[in-house]
Structure 1
Amino acid sequence: MTPQSDEDEVWRQIVASFNDTAERDSADQPWPDSENLPAEPTRRVVKPPEGEPGEDDDLPRDGADDSTGEGSEDEEAEEGHFVPPPPPPLPKLDLVTKLAWVALFGGPAYLLVAAMASWHMEGWALFTAVAAFIGGFVALVVRMGDGPPNDSGWDDGAVL
């Protein structure tokens, strides 16, 4: 027999058994002991009984008197809680940048409102709106700057 005929026979067996159901029960399959997980003991959280409000408010709650030997649930919840620092303030914009943003969004907004309201638009109004959009875009791109930031110091790392 050639290797090709062996592959053909294996392929015929695969195709013939494609729609067959599994006859073996999963209980018959051996399960390796290395795959078994150790049983973990169940954890029980005991809450102290709630008394009258203000009864023990002056006592510190540090979890030292818990009968389980663990901290309270509030301490566990606060332990993994991350509160990010407040974000830095937004940079102050100069008048030219503000006007560029207004022109960038104002031109198309005017055209959209005028088209939805079916206003008759003169040629100079269309030209002004389109020119404002293009001018605002160009102004923002030109003022963007592509150099390193001024506060990077004398050692700005590798420059390629």
Structure 2
Amino acid sequence: MQRDEDEDAVWRSIVDNYGERPALDGEAGAAAEPAAEPAAETAAEPVPDPESTPEPEPDWFSSTSVDPEDRFVPPPAPPLPRPTRDRLFAWLGVFGSPTVLLVCLVAGISLPRLIAYLLVASFVGGFLYLVWQMPRGPRDPWDDGAQV
């Protein structure tokens, strides 16, 4: 027990003496040392408090605050690539077949067994076709896929 109390005392002294401690709201009045009295000011005008006169913030959403020359207008986006017919059917099999099966299951529609097997086969066939058509090697050995 004596050793635990010694360790606690050592840790307490480390924590108490670690770095500068910020003055908290409750400790500000009690812990603050009295400052030296400032010399009599010779200026007749009082110094305005910066918090009492806030500066107007710019209106970021107003179109009048931005010059038309400073606006960035991106170029038109390139058209979406069109998949070939065989890949389109493969993607329809991968996404369409489970969607049809799920909708029928939730709606309580019973499909004939042959159609259900064809939907499952189209999913598996589409998946296998897309995997088979994947490129075998990297396009460029130094290409990590990032584009700017």
Pick closer, same or farther for the CA change 1:157–1:138 going to 2, 3 Å: closer
1:120 and 2:110 aligned: yes
| Partners of 2:6 and 2:81 in 1: CA distance | 74
Aligned residue for 2:95? Answer: 105
2:70 is the counterpart of 1:74: no
2:93 and 2:142 mapped to 1: Cα distance?
38
From 135, 138, 149, the counterpart of 2:128: 138
Q: 2:85 aligns with which of 78, 92, 95?
A: 95
Give how far 1:6 is off.
6.7
Structure 1 pair 7/136, CA: closer, same or farther in 2 (3 Å)? same
Instruction: Give 5+ residue unaligned stretches, structure 2.
Output: 17-24, 36-49, 57-63, 144-148
Deviations 1:32-90 (A, max 9, x none): xxxxxxx9xx988xxxxxxxxxxxxxxxxxxxxxxxxxxx8332x752x4332222222
Q: Secondary structure at the match of 1:144?
A: coil
How far is 1:29 from its partner?
Answer: 8.7
Q: Deviations over 1:67-117 (max 9, x none)?
A: xxxxx8332x752x4332222222221110111111112211221222123
Taking structure 2 as the reference length, the TM-score comes to 0.51
The structural deviation recorded for 1:22 is 4.8
Percent identity between matched residues is 37
Structure 1 vs Structure 2 CA RMSD: 4.0
- Aligned AA (2:9): E
Structure 1 residue runs of 5 or longer lacking an equivalent are: 16-20, 31-38, 45-71, 150-155
Distance 1:104 1:158, change over 3 A: closer
**In 2, Cα distance between equivalents of 1:114 and 1:157:** 46
TM-score (norm 1): 0.48
Whichever residue aligns with residue 66 of structure 2, its letter is D
Q: 1:133 to 1:23 in 2, by over 3 A?
A: same
The alpha-carbon deviation at position 12 of structure 1 amounts to 5.4
Moved over 3 A (4+): 4-8, 10-15, 21-24, 26-30, 146-149, 156-159
Inter-CA distance 87–27: structure 2 relative to 1 (3 Å threshold)? farther
CA distance in 1, matches of 2:114, 2:93: 16
Aligned-pair CA distance for 1:143:
1.7
What secondary structure, in the 3-state scheme, does the structure 1 residue paired with 2:9 have?
helix
Residue 83 (structure 1) aligned to one of 73, 82, 96: 73
